[in-house]
Chain A
Amino acid sequence: MLDDFVMRAALAGIGVALAAAPLGCFVVWRRMAYFGDATSHAALLGVALALSLDLPVFAGVLVVAMAMALIVSGLSGRTVSTDALLGVMAHGALAIGLVAVSLLPNQRVDLSAYLFGEILAVTKGDLVIIWGGAAVSIALLVWRWQALLSATLNPDLATASGVNPHREQLILTVALALTVAVALKVVGALLIAALLIIPAAAARPFSRTPETMAMMAAGIGMVSTLGGLAASFAFDTPTGPSIVTVAAVIFAVSTGLAPALRR
């Protein structure tokens, strides 16, 4: 079954969608969209680092994404205008990553593979990494779910009930870096943040609790993955962008339905 590249692609996409869903909810609830951008754009720098040091790409991306996420989460705690700062970090990371990749000596790097993903080239080894990383990220979020929600609502309230908001932020940071690292192959650095945010936002109108929102987001993410794969075959379009397009269409429909769903 895993010898079929379409099957591997579908499994890879589903793994990433499952990991991205609950994390994406937190990104939306905490208004961390730029945070997701900065971290996923930094993945490109990780690719350059890995290739120049002859390391596995996954390891390079994980390390750089983690470093970026830590820097950004450290900076966002300050009083500086975080919106502009995060914007600078997000786009700066992308630009520096592009420059770094172009500077690699004697490397023929297929840049578009890292920018937009190459889900159809997923190997069995990739599948192990994707599902392993996704499982760790999901386990982290499930384990800390209640505490993470408390810290998201109000840091002081969380502190008063014995939850350390800084530690919870760190957990999210780790989960984000892991998810970015496993999603790179599937949708590419440019569209990872889309996969985080769009399914979560599309799930919002149908949800009355945080848990249902995360599960709906996972469902929407999986439908988008499979729909995007199918569309990419039918219309001969790039797969990563096709997946995100399907998700965006689902979001548009769900947002259009939202007023009817409100009591």
Chain B
Amino acid sequence: MSLIATHDLRLVLGGQTVLHGVNIAIDKGEIVTIVGPNGSGKSSLLRALIGALKPAGGTITRSPGLRIGYVPQKLQIDPSLPLTVEGFLNLPRRQNRAVVETALHKAGVPDLAKQQMSSLSGGQFQRVLLARALLNMPDILILDEATQGLDQPGAAAFYRQIEDVRREMGCAVLMVSHDLHVVMAASDRVLCLNGHVCCEGTPEIVADAPEYRALFGTGTQGALALYRHEHTHSHDHDHHPGDH
């Protein structure tokens, strides 16, 4: 049985149908990436999966007792709100100190507990959000454009962290991303979304699909081509040969 599945899901936002006829299923331990242009309903789909957006039609089935770890697209903390990393991780429920430390360690930022949230760098901030999502030992991690605002090496490092977490905890990962070339290489499966699921499959299959090319392909270059090109075009990143 899938961890979470939708059947003929329809989502309406502000009176407009943003998604329709969506049938997806996420299985244990797999990494699934959702790609799609702006306004294609990616974030809405994730919000529906976590329960923040009610379906206008169709159903969402979660396996009983499913634990979801959610990393939002962005989290703006008003500068008027003083908050330590530790304090943030204790919302909304106070956690055992050891649980907090373990989560920070798994997310790759073991020493930040006493820092102010406002003093973190972009990469540290995203890792703290990841740590928060890991607190309840999730069966599935859901990430909404989690690397927005990170530079390319930063994003690549973040995805490596996600892979480490998956390997260690065995959780499924469902993410939305713009970093096609980085993300697709790491995914088991890619869903291409544009109001509905327009194609899906392994990264290679999706990259070659005409629907996908129509949305993203500039001429003959799909995302994987872009990825392969990185080695010849990234003169500025010669000191990061491991970024893929």
Give residues in A with beta carbon < 8 Å to B.
28-31, 79, 146-147, 149-150, 152-163, 200-201, 204, 207-210, 212-213
Contacts and interface: CB of A to CB of B under 8 A. Distances in A.
B132 to A, nearest CB: 8
A200 B78 CA distance: 14
A123 to B, nearest CB: 37
B65 interface: no
Nearest to A201: B80
Nearest to B43: A156
B94 interface: yes
B52 A156 contact: yes
B78 A161 contact: no
A152 B81 contact: yes
A37 B51 CA distance: 33
A209 B83 contact: yes
Contacts of B70: 156-157, 160
B82 A204 contact: yes
A153 B82 CA distance: 11
B241 interface: no
Interface residues of B, number: 25
A4 B125 CA distance: 55
A162 B94 CA distance: 14
A158 B82 contact: no
Nearest to B142: A160
A150 B80 contact: no
Given A157-B72, A161-B92, A29 B14 contact: no
Contacts, number: 70
Contacts of B93: 146, 161
A163 B92 CA distance: 8
B75 interface: yes
A158 B72 CA distance: 11
A149 B68 CA distance: 20
A251 B180 CA distance: 48
Contact of B50 (A31, A156, A204, A213): A156
Query: Secondary structure of the B side of the interface?
Result: loop
Most buried by A among B68, B82, B132: B82
Contact of B87 (A158, A201, A209): A209
Given A146-B90, A153-B81, A154-B75, 12 more contacts: A29-B80, A29-B81, A31-B78, A146-B91, A146-B92, A154-B72, A160-B50, A160-B52, A161-B91, A161-B92, A207-B82, A210-B87
A131 B16 CA distance: 48
A141 B87 CA distance: 17
Interface string B45-59: 001001110000000
B220 to A, nearest CB: 38
A200 B192 CA distance: 47
Contact of A29 (B78, B88, B91, B132): B78
Interface string B206-234: 00000000000000000000000000000
A150 B92 contact: yes
Contact of A158 (B81, B88, B92): B92
B91 A208 contact: no
14 contacts: A28-B78, A146-B94, A150-B91, A153-B83, A155-B52, A156-B70, A157-B70, A159-B51, A161-B91, A161-B92, A163-B92, A210-B82, A210-B87, A213-B82
Contacts of B88: 153
Contacts of A208: 82, 84, 116
B14 A79 contact: yes
Most chain A CB within 10 A, of B72, B81, B93, B132, is at B81
Contacts of A213: 81-82
Interface in B161-204: none
A213 B78 CA distance: 14
A150 B91 CA distance: 6
Nearest to B92: A150
B113 to A, nearest CB: 13
B47 A153 contact: no
B140 to A, nearest CB: 11
A207 B72 CA distance: 26
A153 B36 CA distance: 27
Contact of A149 (B14, B84, B92, B132): B92
